[in-house]
Chains A and B, each alone.
Chain A
């Protein structure tokens, strides 16, 4: 079924770096959430994870982030290097790949007195952010925000950002330091059309500039074809992996969502 050809785990996928999930299974309180999930993700590739609610998308992300115990294996191979196992929760020295994580809409109250600068500095520096933030960190934060064209957001309160702006700030944070793998949990939800377009363009830019692998989950099937190299249809197990067109046209897709998505892009 799988379209992605590969050799044995140790030999890697040619010369490219690669995140490999093999026979991943996750149980939470006795219930099987993921079962025998296997797929590969290469550098410079954008893969979209789709599936109904409760399909295990967030659980899959948490396994990759090492926040959940799991069975099977998740490994990462650097270009020409050995395969490194991403063990649950343990940091394996300096060789462990960096994973940038953009979580699903964090909760900020509108009145939260946390500026973008505060938030960013708290996550990336030791400087206690309840004191005035020195210029050094201000400049660093501005440079990071420039990557996502968000330098004007520096002093905005986090609670006052629009969905798209918040995603951009979180993306800038996930890119500091530049990770090997970028994981985004439903980055397009709560983002308007224009914000979505901007965000997808930015991801494309990031993928080319930094040569990293991007894995994101989404419910927006209409735009899949415009950005994803690979689509993974997940519902507890991997039902289908392939190009956007292949997955959307597949009987598995139809059985899961009971809808057809036309070539033109309308849902």
Chain B
């Protein structure tokens, strides 16, 4: 971290001067880790039409927090991660076994999870307000240990992308074709949804439940506006997420608004820009 603080000290901002404002320096580093993470995941979330699923996962993560808090865990985040992974596994299983359309199954899971979360967090007449921070998120409260964890997850997701992006993509395009080429479609989908579950849950505290899904949809949506192959798709998605992440953090610092919301607005701007200059069909 010392190295990072020294590096940031080179920037010409008032908060970047040595000896203070560590929360802001931490936040910047966190953004530099989280944005490429979401940029990467978002390409596949959009490609395999799972944006509704990641939204539902965000809600289930909140329920996991409530369960964790109820059980008296010091770190309800881990309870939430476990709950989200179970949620993702169950969802995959039900989607496979059921004749219902995917979005219907998601709706069933999502509404159940939300209801359970609200019920558990308000049972016994308790107030819901202590969970408000989860809805909006606060990236300025991120600590170095958490950044290290997120960085580790970024590395793991990159490894997952190197090892199984091809199979994941084919499974999404045509399950039967993928199967005919020896790909275990069910496991590909399961691993991917677990990855989303873990990332969404761990970053929810900082990004905020209400904007987390925009981080998983907007970068890739913008990328699709202009990309003609998968490399360009990833490039535009990740660069867009990074730029919006940094710009959003700066803006929120100077005008004093929610960082998550500011990042999302920049991503929306990026989408509009790519839409205007993008390819025409």
Q: A residues bordering B, Cβ < 8 Å?
A: 62, 65, 67, 91, 99, 101, 103, 106-108, 110-115, 117-119, 121-123, 125-133, 155, 157, 160, 170
CB distance A67 to B229 under 8 Å?
Answer: no
Asked if B104 is at the interface (CB within 8 A of a chain A CB), the reply is: no
User: Which of B181, B229, B281 lies in contact with A118, CB distance below 8 A?
Assistant: B229
Chain B interface size band reads 20 to 34
Contacts of A130 in B (CB 8 A): 43, 161, 165, 230-231, 233-234
Contacts of B47 in A (CB 8 A): 112
User: Which of A62, A107, A110, A114 lies in contact with B229, CB distance below 8 A?
Assistant: A114
Interface on chain A toward B: helix, strand, loop, or mixed SS? Answer: loop
CB distance A108 to B228 under 8 Å?
Answer: no
Most chain A Cβ neighbours within 10 Å, of B170, B173, B279: B173
Interface on chain B toward A: helix, strand, loop, or mixed SS? Answer: helix
> Mask for B159-199, Cβ within 8 A of A = 1, else 0?
00111011101100110110111100000000000000000
CB distance B224 to A114 under 8 Å?
Answer: no
Asked if B240 is at the interface (CB within 8 A of a chain A CB), the reply is: no
CB distance A128 to B229 under 8 Å?
Answer: no
> Mask for B218-252, Cβ within 8 A of A = 1, else 0?
00000111011111111000000000000000000
- The distance in angstroms between the C-alpha atoms of A155 and B43, with both chains bound, is 20
> Mask for B245-268, Cβ within 8 A of A = 1, else 0?
000000000000000000000000
User: Which of A103, A128, A132 lies in contact with B177, CB distance below 8 A?
Assistant: A103
The minimal Cβ–Cβ distance linking B278 to chain A, given in whole angstroms, is 9
Contacts of B177 in A (CB 8 A): 101, 103, 106, 123, 170
The minimal Cβ–Cβ distance linking A145 to chain B, given in whole angstroms, is 15
Contacts between chains A and B (CB distance < 8 A), count: 89
Contacts of A91 in B (CB 8 A): 182
CB distance A157 to B180 under 8 Å?
Answer: no
User: Which of B165, B170, B229 lies in contact with A113, CB distance below 8 A?
Assistant: B229
CB distance A62 to B176 under 8 Å?
Answer: yes
User: Which of B167, B173, B181, B225 lies in contact with A106, CB distance below 8 A?
Assistant: B173
The minimal Cβ–Cβ distance linking B142 to chain A, given in whole angstroms, is 28
- The distance in angstroms between the C-alpha atoms of A67 and B174, with both chains bound, is 14
- The distance in angstroms between the C-alpha atoms of A130 and B281, with both chains bound, is 23
* 7 A–B contacts from the bound complex (CB under 8 Å): A65-B180, A106-B177, A118-B229, A119-B173, A122-B169, A130-B233, A130-B234
CB distance A65 to B179 under 8 Å?
Answer: yes
Contacts of A123 in B (CB 8 A): 166, 170, 177, 181
For the complex of A and B, the 8 pairs showing the least CB-CB separation, nearest first, are A113-B227, A101-B180, A122-B166, A113-B233, A115-B229, A106-B174, A118-B230, A130-B234
CB distance A101 to B223 under 8 Å?
Answer: no
- The distance in angstroms between the C-alpha atoms of A106 and B170, with both chains bound, is 11
